[in-house]
């Protein structure tokens, strides 16, 4: 049985208890939210037993989670380096990693990521088929079949992948709206663009939409979470919250509701590039159309002018999105829009997203997040450098920046420190 099936029968599973313990909430609360689709639990039931593996819950009233994307490209393939990226992402606080490899032996890389990671692993299965056809000198739009697409999903779930992004809401109707209301940068989702090209070439509906029942059957077998992908997310500020994006979101809401009836866990992916004044609207629309399903957002990035600093633009948007109700932040690294991220990019991307998530939790009034800030402030007041370091989001950076010769003050103010005054 799936987690939803257990929950609907009022059974609390081992995984529900683990999530409840980590989140400091009741297992009954987790069970009830899994049953109504407002919380998902990321854990493939075929995943090999690993005492270090952390079962992760995403959704209503839980800590805001952070995902880190890693993976090769056709121009850069180094499996050992990708392993280091996985370890780096987890070291700095990622709650999940997605392997988005498009170069080299993708199957081998995916299995390495699953074996290495102590947090849930996600993929975009379509990439595997696209790359395999490319290796055989075949075009995806001309050669791929619906059967092959579904087979690739099952192949990756059989390996132990915990959640998969599948662009089920990119319909012919949505494409027609996109064509009428032309965008500045068009479709920026890699998986979405290949699907759209396939649909146009074959004059057929999205195979994942048409065969959604079969997709659910596959996901149910592994109790995997389907991340309903946003193939029409805005790729620049000028394209935000347009008719095509909203049409896809409405379709995802219908699919989420149907999946819940079929006892398959789903979450919804969202934008993208969104200005600050549109973030609240985007979150509320998702919660409305998708029945409060967990919302997984890329950033959102609040401006287009910061190549090399997009971990900052996404952290600004992620903090606000988290405050308004986003549940899962996909990190953005400084290398976004420029190239494949290196280890330092991965570290900075994770930390930036974690700061955003924590800031949102404070604004939401989460007691444990508020407690950490209170304790660090108390340690700062008491000049307790050891405790400040322990509570900081990156202790190694804290240590690197400490430059005072005296333990009583830092080098910014020295003897003129305001907190040394007896007031």
What pLDDT score does 419 carry? 75
Does the pLDDT at position 403 exceed 90?
A: no
- CATH class, domain 46-53+63-365, is alpha beta
264, exposed or middle or buried, with CB in 10 Å at 0-12, 13-18, 19+? buried
347-356 residues labelled b (16+ CB within 10 A) or e (exposed): bbbbbbbbbb
* pLDDT > 90: percent of the chain: 91
User: What are the φ/ψ torsions at residue 110 (nearest 5 degrees)?
Assistant: -60, -45
- For the chain, the domains span 46-53+63-365, 368-420
Rounded Cα–Cα distance for residues 268 and 328 (Å): 10
Q: 């050669």: which residue's tokens?
A: 143
pLDDT 10s digits, 349-390: 999 999 999 999 999 999 999 999 999 999 999 989 999 999
What pLDDT score does 49 carry? 62
Tokens representing residue 42 in the block: 């990321």
pLDDT 10s digits, 161-170: 999 999 999 9
Mean pLDDT of the chain: 95
Does the pLDDT at position 406 exceed 70?
A: no
Does the pLDDT at position 296 exceed 80?
A: yes
DSSP string, 350-400: HHHHHHHHHHHHHHHT-HHHHHHHHHHHHHHHTT-HHHHHHHSS-HHHHHH
Strand-strand pairing, 266-270 and 121-123: unpaired
Decide: 38 and 75 in contact? Cβ < 8 Å. Answer: no
pLDDT 10s digits, 381-397: 998 999 999 999 999 99
What pLDDT score does 418 carry? 77
Dihedral sign, Cα of residue 376, residue 379, residue 380, residue 384? negative
What pLDDT score does 7 carry? 98
Ramachandran region, residue 312 (left: φ > 0; alpha: ψ -120 to 50; beta: rest): alpha
What pLDDT score does 170 carry? 98
Residue 404: pLDDT band with limits 50, 70, 90: low
Does the pLDDT at position 405 exceed 70?
A: no
pLDDT 10s digits, 27-84: 999 999 999 999 999 999 998 766 789 999 999 999 999 999 999 999 999 999 999 9
Rounded Cα–Cα distance for residues 229 and 126 (Å): 12
């Amino acid at each position: 049985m799936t987690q939803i099936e257990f929950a609907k029968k009022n059974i609390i599973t081992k995984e529900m208890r683990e999530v409840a313990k980590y989140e400091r909430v009741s297992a009954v609360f987790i069970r009830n939210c899994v049953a109504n689709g407002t919380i998902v639990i990321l854990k493939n039931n075929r995943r090999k037993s690993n005492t270090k593996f952390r079962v992760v819950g995403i959704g209503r009233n839980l800590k805001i989670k952070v995902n880190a994307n890693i993976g090769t490209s056709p121009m850069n393939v180094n499996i050992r380096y990708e392993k280091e990226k996985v370890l780096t992402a987890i070291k700095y606080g990622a709650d999940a990693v997605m392997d988005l490899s498009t170069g080299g032996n993708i199957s081998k890389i995916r299995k390495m990521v699953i074996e290495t990671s102590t947090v849930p692993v996600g993929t975009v299965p379509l990439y595997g088929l696209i790359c395999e056809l490319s290796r055989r000198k075949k075009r995806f739009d001309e050669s791929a079949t619906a059967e092959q697409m579904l087979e690739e999903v099952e192949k990756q779930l059989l390996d132990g992948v915990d959640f998969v992004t599948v662009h089920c809401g990119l319909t012919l109707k949505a494409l027609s709206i996109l064509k009428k209301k032309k965008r500045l940068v068009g479709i920026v989702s890699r998986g979405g663009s290949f699907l759209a090209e396939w649909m146009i070439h074959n004059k057929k509906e999205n195979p994942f939409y048409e065969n959604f029942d079969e997709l659910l059957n596959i996901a149910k077998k592994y109790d995997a979470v389907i991340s309903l992908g946003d193939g029409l997310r805005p790729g620049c500020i000028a394209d935000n919250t347009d008719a095509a994006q909203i049409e896809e979101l409405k379709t995802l809401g219908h699919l989420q509701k149907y999946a819940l009836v079929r006892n398959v866990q789903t979450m919804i992916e969202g934008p993208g590039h969104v200005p600050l004044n549109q973030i609240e609207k985007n979150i509320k629309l998702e919660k409305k159309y998708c029945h409060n399903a967990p919302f997984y957002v890329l950033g959102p990035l609040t401006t287009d002018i910061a190549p090399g600093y997009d971990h900052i633009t996404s952290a600004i948007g992620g903090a606000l999105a988290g405050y308004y109700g986003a549940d899962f932040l996909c990190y953005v690294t400084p290398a976004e829009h420029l190239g494949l991220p290196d280890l330092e990019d991965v570290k900075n991307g994770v930390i930036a997203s974690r700061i955003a998530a924590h800031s949102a939790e404070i604004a939401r009034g989460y007691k444990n997040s508020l407690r950490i800030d209170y304790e660090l402030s108390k340690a700062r007041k008491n000049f307790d450098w050891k405790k400040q370091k322990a509570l900081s989001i990156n202790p190694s950076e804290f240590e690197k920046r400490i430059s005072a010769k005296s333990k009583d003050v830092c080098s910014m103010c020295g003897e003129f420190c305001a907190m040394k005054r007896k007031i």
